[in-house]
Amino acid sequence: MKKTLTDVFFDKKDPVAKRVMDIALKYSFQCKIYKHEISGKTTENATQALKIEPSKILKSLYLIDSKKEDGEGFAVIIRGIDKLDTKALSKLISKKTGYNPKLKFANEEKICEKTGFKLGGIPVLAFVEKNITTYVDKKVLLETFVVGSGGSEFHGMEFEPSELLNKLKYNIAEITKKAENHEKDFDKKEEPFIKKTF
């Protein structure tokens, strides 16, 4: 039987990788999970560590409606070189629901509570597992492969962007603008980037 990516790139002795891979297998999500020694903090550092373009590095973001912070949250997946356009996202949500939210990035405690993962380690799989409405920027689909967090700030996960649609059924939307300065775009409430040391 032909081996899948999950068969080849999965260390069953690593509890973090196992937790994420269990979710991946549940949804037949094909990915590679890496463990790395150095925490990823910025797009620039992740690009240097991975030796790939920053466009292939993902931000997984979790936002809440400041009008009702105990209500529904929203997840966003965008490229490292792009900046989330919160106004565009708000308009999209308003068009779909009839309600216009005032969005802001969730704090660390709320992120952990709602996604089940700590800041710096939210995999894209966390959102489908927690039934969180998730939007993927259309530019992500331009990449042949992408790398996001793999369950902790010391784990990375590589996969084809099409998996987000075909397996996780996330929503595709135009919700970003290119950041003039990648480092300025990094916010402590946004998902930090991963590093890979192999």
Q: For the chain, which domains are there?
A: 5-185 (3.90.960.10)
**126-139 pLDDT, tens per residue?**
999 999 999 999 99
What integer pLDDT is reported at residue 136 of this predicted model? 98
Task: Name which residue leads in pLDDT, 115 or 72.
Answer: 115
**Residue 154: which pLDDT band, with cuts at 50, 70 and 90?**
confident
**Residue 7: which pLDDT band, with cuts at 50, 70 and 90?**
very low
Residue 186 scores a pLDDT above 50: no
The encoded tokens of residue 115 equal 């996604």
Give the integer Cα–Cα distance in Å for 126 and 115: 6
**Residue 153: which pLDDT band, with cuts at 50, 70 and 90?**
confident
Indicate the Cα dihedral angle 119, 122, 91, 100, nearest 10°. Answer: -60
**20-46 pLDDT, tens per residue?**
999 999 999 999 988 777 776 566 766
Contact criterion met (CB below 8 Å) for 73 and 63 = yes
Give the integer Cα–Cα distance in Å for 45 and 60: 17
pTM: 0.84
